[in-house]
Amino acid sequence: MNELGTEIHLHARVFRTAGEWYADVDDELDPQPDNPLWWGSYDSQRAAIDAACSRIAAMHLALHTPNSLRLVV
């Protein structure tokens, strides 16, 4: 849930382009790849998947931890 008490549904997108793997995390309100909440590029598919899953877990933890800064970079 966000500060307003509504649930946030995140999704990860992982794909290969120009010889590297790309991952991003976005929400359902703006699922287009033009402005993701987070993104990164990686040498392998496994690394991209692991990074995206870690980022979603960190975002979830930040939203559910009291006194958190609510900022995940």
Per-residue model confidence as pLDDT tens digits over 21-53: 999 999 877 767 778 889 999 999 999 999 999
Tokens describing residue 57: 């877990």
What pTM does this model have? 0.74
pLDDT at 2: 53
Tokens describing residue 20: 């590297």
pLDDT digit string (tens) for 1-13? 555 566 778 889 9
pLDDT at 4: 57
Domain boundaries of the chain, sorted by first residue? 10-64
Q: b or e along 18-48 (b: 16 or more beta carbons within 10 Å of the residue's beta carbon)?
A: eeebbbbbbeeeeeeeeebebbeebeeeeeb
pLDDT at 22: 95
- pLDDT of 73 > 60? The answer is no
CB-based contacts of 63, cutoff 8 Å, min separation 6: 1, 2, 8, 70
